[in-house]
Amino acid sequence: MNILLAFILVVSLFAMSSHAAPPFSGTVWVDSDIITPSDPSSFITITPISSESRPIFDRRANNGSGGWLTLNPTMFSAFYLDGNAIEIQVNPEFDFDEAASKAEFYGRAIGQLPKLLRTDVKTVWIHKGDEAFGGGNDNLLIHTDSTGYHGEALEETLFHEACHTSLDSRVYGNAWSNAQNLDNEFISIYAKNYPEREDVAESCALYYAVKFRPDRLTQSLVSLVNETIQNRILVFDSFDMKPVSKADVPASYEASSGQLILPAVKAAGKNYELILELTDPGSLVFSLQSAIETESSNYVDTAIYSDGLLSVPLFLIKSDTFSITLELITSQEGAIDFKYLTHVKKELIAN
């Protein structure tokens, strides 16, 4: 009996020390709907800034082995409602209009990432070339001809690389090592092959999907992720990551429809999404079209309605930003109307 018990114990210990085969080769490609192009972005706008010499990494340098170059890139500040501005440095191989288009396109996509993942992103490098994206160095590296990382997988790729930039230094450590040991599995072959470099980025995207977008996944995938990295999930939970919500989108005016769209307005202790329509252009009177209670925003400086005044600290008309104040006026036939009082052109300043 003692020999049998000893044998069972040895087998059990061997099973505990053995890693199951990772369920995926890499997690960027598992589901392309973790973040989609139509999801909210906290991106406000870009503004051009004076070009100066910058050290920039380009994977095409040194005959394709990658290296540092000193360039005078076309530069923009990208602004976000819920975070610091990011300096986007575009290789001068693009003309100005192309550079501006690329900076705005990628700036918006980066604004779809959780604020936590943008915390340490201070710069973005944009080059031509069919090369891999990259993260780290307080930066995101983008090569625009890299078709495998564009299209459906663009947002997931940026998510992965932003994890390297903003999470690696925060997550790797004793708690993560303990979670790895307790899980005794890896979510992907890539994570298993590079447990101290890729495990956080590979695990975080599916953590985010399961935590915030489970409706976009199959139930079997949700169960698989929860079972495979259950202790890593607890570590991620401690960082209080939040997705960008509809309430984090800048207020805007659409001239074609005459609508002033306010994604987040605080009123009487609640948050509302308001849509106002310009019904009297001569007097600048807007009529309330809808008011839907919504979630709170992830930033502080949101619109407020109080004592008959609707104060919007920032709203966007094309690429210009303003603050505006409207006043509730006596309505006719039950309509709720607001009259324009004042506005101030708001200059965005990079931190």
Rounded average pLDDT over 307-327: 93
What pLDDT is attached to residue 223? 98
Whether the per-residue pLDDT at 130 is higher than 50: the answer is yes
More confident residue, 349 or 243: 243
Q: Sorting pLDDT into bands at 50, 70 and 90, what band is 19?
A: low
Write the pLDDT tens digit of every residue in 259-307.
999 999 999 999 999 999 999 999 999 999 999 999 888 877 889 999 9
What pLDDT is attached to residue 311? 97
Contact (CB, 8 A) for 279 and 286: yes
One-letter amino acid at 7 equals: F
Rounded average pLDDT over 43-71: 96
- What percent of the chain stands above pLDDT 90? 83
Write the pLDDT tens digit of every residue in 190-243.
999 999 999 999 999 999 999 999 999 999 999 999 999 999 999 999 999 999
On whether the pTM is more than 0.85, the answer is: yes
What pLDDT is attached to residue 1? 44
What pLDDT is attached to residue 9? 35
Q: Measure the CA angle with vertex 326, ends 322 and 332; round to 5°.
A: 145
- By CB neighbour count within 10 A (0-12 exposed, 13-18 middle, 19+ buried), where does 281 fall? exposed
Whether the per-residue pLDDT at 85 is higher than 60: the answer is yes
Whether the per-residue pLDDT at 133 is higher than 70: the answer is yes
Whether the per-residue pLDDT at 7 is higher than 60: the answer is no
Rounded average pLDDT over 38-54: 95
What pLDDT is attached to residue 334? 76
Plot region of 304 (φ>0 → left; ψ -120 to 50 → alpha; else → beta): beta
What pLDDT is attached to residue 152? 76
Helices marked H in the chain — which ranges? 2-17, 61-64, 96-110, 115-118, 154-166, 168-171, 174-183, 189-193, 199-212, 219-228, 230-237
CA dihedral 323, 263, 212, 198 (to 10 degrees): -30
